[in-house]
Structure 1
Amino acid sequence: MTTDPVDVLGTVDPVASVLSAYADGRRICLVTSGTTARPRSVVRTAASWVESFPAVSQLTGIAADSRVWVPGPLGASMNLFAAAHARFVGADVVPASAGASHGLLTPMALIGALDDGVDVAGMHLVVAGDRLTRTVARRATAAGARVSHYYGAAELSFVAWGSDEEDLRLFPDVELEIRDGVIWTRSPFLSHGYLAPGGPFTIAPDGFATVGDHGRLTNGVLTVVGRDGRAVVTGGATVLVDDVEEVLRWVGGGDVVVVGVAHPRLGQMVAAVFTDPVALTAARDAAPGELTPAQRPRLWFHLPRWPQTAAGKVDRAAIAALADAGALRPVPRTGGASSGAGA
């Protein structure tokens, strides 16, 4: 029997291919979302997914009588996992929210569903793929949903689970260490790495692995700060995007994307892009007291909704391109939020 991994996305039924690979003791090949870098093919055993199914069932209550709404594409590993888990336990995967007992969404998809008036009352929503702010989680809870949120990666699988980004505690059977500010984890759920060399996934001799995300572990709660490589160089100073976003989210009470906009003298200017004009105003008013001069955004923009990747995540590259191309108009301090034609 060949030991080559099964390219499950290249098959007619990717979910069946995952479960068949598990039965045969085979490895599977998945593709990362490519949100912050080019997509890569991740290789893992099918068992490394299936072994986490009991914990997910316990945390979510998904069972044979459940109806699981998975609106995103199966090309995203979080969606394929959810569909495989549902089929493994005998639950139905449904294409629409009506009658669903559970839902698996990105934070952006959740915001869109709430904005569109989707009835989530009585549903258990599992939100992943990007950070879920407490504000959005509470909004879903107020609409009658139960909300769970997890942090992980295609390379690592589950790392931490909670109700929002401020309540992430270790997933069962996961060990975690913070080494020089970087999150390292060891569990039965790790992948074997990539088909091709390169990429952020690293396994240490002691079995701990990382994808380069930075974080803090305080009293058992994991705070995910961000990943190396996201920086704006302005006037010779290197500004870490994740540091600025963390502060602006805290003082503004809304989500934000920070990007660099080309400038002939400074190299780049720090720009902050919000979808909530009230949060933008609050963050701008508080920024001088919370950020260093280099970190403070020189430009403030508003977008009605974030552009999204094919996997349903916030498309940072598209936001940066809009800002850098001048497709967004800066929000005046004394005026209302506005956006350019490209928004």
Structure 2
Amino acid sequence: MTAQPPGARPPVVDVSAAADPVAAFLDAAERGHLVALRTSGTTGRARAVVRTPASWTRSFPHVSRLAGLDAGARVWVPGPLAATMNLFAVVHARWVGATVVAAPEQATHAHLTPAALVAALAAGTDLRGRTVVVAGDRLARRVADRAAAAGARVHHYYGAAELSFVAWGSAEDDLRLFPGVTAQVRAGRLWVRSPWLALGYDGPDGPFERDDDGFATVGDRGRLDGASLTVRGRGCDAVVTAGATVLVDDVESVLRHATGGDVVVVGVPHPRLGAVVTAVLADPALLPAARAAARAGLAPAERPHRWLHAPAFPLTPGGKVDRAALAALAASGALAPAARA
């Protein structure tokens, strides 16, 4: 197993392969076994993240306090249990004695990705008085504010399958380090040390690295200001245009900060330039602010040459934006220009 400290280890239970992953996790916790949680991440490459059950269960009191969740809660988790954020939510609910429900109208609490929250708002789902915990991708302030205006109490956390919880807030712009987490930024990459870290992988290597001081990283880039954290993504998605390499996270960070909305940047093939930087907006009304931010905050090579509108972003099975599918839509001409949407 990679990235694990040396020494003997207890048996590993492949929770993701179990017929009831929640029961398998709870049984492993009782027996003192390790658990393997399979995840394809954003690259589609299957990996098994190995961790102690305690690296989840000992964080439960903090999550209960932050989300206001106790035995009287009714928790709606519509996403697949193959996604670790959803499995965690259901295991946590069972652990504290809360009831897992099948429909939002039955719920006091919901666990959603940002895309699922946008879909719920578009569908007119009644969020009044409900606590919505959002994770799996960055939650734009504009979306969080829409949910709050609809009556929801919104929480947002940043983490990773390998790191578990890193920071908690109400949207991507007010994240603060989760209890027990110490963080550093080294050469732009975020490193964290906490009781919530995984041990490593069973199977193919991945982005998880540890150092001798107990800090770990998955390569996400960020900025720290005291306990306040700004996450800028992994920085591995790039568009090569006219010989310049443009990191899409850098462009998205500027545009999202200026608009408070969902903006996804992709590359669209171009016969002369190789590719052109293309910004896809969830709301075409954000176009003026996005253009102004691009002019003021981005280098010429980084500025989008095309601005498109997607009324709904394609999603992966785990509920995250499917960048490859969105890029294909942009390249095919299926998306309308934002100015005319």
Q: TM-score range by the shorter chain?
A: over 0.9
| Mapping for residues 1-343 of structure 1, pairs under 5 Å | 3-331=10-338, 335-337=339-341
- Secondary structure of 1:213 counterpart: coil
* Separation in structure 1 between the aligned mates of residue 29 and residue 261 of structure 2, nearest angstrom: 42
**Which has the higher mean CA deviation after the structures are superposed, 133-142 or 277-286?**
277-286
- Cα RMSD of the aligned pairs, angstroms, is 1.5
Unaligned runs of 5+ in 2: 1-8
- Aligned-partner residue type, residue 336 of structure 1: R
Q: Percent identity?
A: 62
**Which has the higher mean CA deviation after the structures are superposed, 89-98 or 31-40?**
31-40
* Separation in structure 2 between the aligned mates of residue 108 and residue 63 of structure 1, nearest angstrom: 26
- Secondary structure of 1:278 counterpart: helix
* Separation in structure 2 between the aligned mates of residue 23 and residue 275 of structure 1, nearest angstrom: 45
* Separation in structure 2 between the aligned mates of residue 96 and residue 52 of structure 1, nearest angstrom: 26
Asked whether the equivalents of residues 25 and 47 of structure 1 are also in contact (C-alpha less than 8 Å), the reply is no
- Secondary structure of 2:106 counterpart: coil
* TM-score, scaled relative to structure 2: 0.94
> Where does residue 5 of structure 2 map in the other structure?
none
- Aligned-partner residue type, residue 276 of structure 2: M
Once the 2 structures are TM-superposed, how far is the Cα of residue 35 of structure 1 from its aligned partner? 2.3
- Aligned-partner residue type, residue 84 of structure 1: V
> How many residues of Structure 1 are paired with residues of Structure 2 in the alignment?
333
* TM-score, scaled relative to structure 1: 0.93
* Separation in structure 1 between the aligned mates of residue 54 and residue 80 of structure 2, nearest angstrom: 22
Once the 2 structures are TM-superposed, how far is the Cα of residue 323 of structure 1 from its aligned partner? 1.8
Asked whether the equivalents of residues 259 and 286 of structure 2 are also in contact (C-alpha less than 8 Å), the reply is yes
Going from structure 1 to structure 2, the CA distance change for 1:286 and 1:49 (only over 3 Å counts) comes to closer
Once the 2 structures are TM-superposed, how far is the Cα of residue 247 of structure 1 from its aligned partner? 1.2
* Separation in structure 2 between the aligned mates of residue 33 and residue 83 of structure 1, nearest angstrom: 20
* Separation in structure 2 between the aligned mates of residue 9 and residue 220 of structure 1, nearest angstrom: 34
Once the 2 structures are TM-superposed, how far is the Cα of residue 36 of structure 1 from its aligned partner? 3.8
Unaligned runs of 5+ in 1: 338-343
Once the 2 structures are TM-superposed, how far is the Cα of residue 262 of structure 1 from its aligned partner? 1.3
* Separation in structure 2 between the aligned mates of residue 25 and residue 113 of structure 1, nearest angstrom: 39
Going from structure 1 to structure 2, the CA distance change for 1:329 and 1:113 (only over 3 Å counts) comes to closer
- Aligned-partner residue type, residue 270 of structure 1: V
